[in-house]
Amino acid sequence: MEIEFIPLDALKEDKIYIKAIGLIRGVKVDYSTAKHISFSVQGDENVHNVMYFTEKPASKKWQCDCKWYTLQNKTCSHIIAVNLAIKKKLIKLEGED
Ligand SMILES: [Zn+2]
C-alpha cells in the first residue's frame, strides 16, 4: 500500500511533534486491509487507535481516536508518531520486505 505521509516539516517546531518523538517506540500495526491500516499507539495513559484510509481525501486519510484529534480535528502526536515510525522503518507494513 502506498502511504501518503502528513507534511511533517511544517510541524517540526510544534510541541506535539516533540511529544510524538517520545511515542514512536510504542507504535504497532493492529491489522491492515487493501485500503486501510489500523495502528495502536501507547500514549501517556491510554492506547490510542490511529487509522489510515487510502481512499479518503487528504484531510481524512489519517484519523485518531484521541480527544485532541476528535475535538479539534487537528493532527495529533499519535498520528505524527505513526508517520515517523513508518518513515524510520520501525514498524513493518504488509507487503514490504
Ligand atoms: Zn491522537
**What's the CA-to-centroid distance between 95 and ligand 1, angstroms?**
26
**What's the CA-to-centroid distance between 79 and ligand 1, angstroms?**
6
- Identify which of 21, 16, 65 has the alpha carbon closest to the alpha carbon of residue 39: 65
**What's the CA-to-centroid distance between 70 and ligand 1, angstroms?**
8
Q: Is the dihedral of CA 81, 84, 90, 94 positive or negative?
A: positive
For the cut 70, the answer to whether the pLDDT of residue 10 exceeds it is yes
pTM, rounded to two decimals:
0.92
What pLDDT does 84 receive? Answer: 97
**What's the CA-to-centroid distance between 48 and ligand 1, angstroms?**
6
**What's the CA-to-centroid distance between 40 and ligand 1, angstroms?**
10
| Beta carbons of 40 and 48 less than 8 angstroms apart | yes
26-78 per-position pLDDT tens digit: 999 999 999 999 999 998 889 999 999 999 998 899 999 999 899 988 899 99
| Beta carbons of 90 and 23 less than 8 angstroms apart | no
**What's the CA-to-centroid distance between 66 and ligand 1, angstroms?**
4
Alpha-carbon span 10 to 36, nearest angstrom: 25
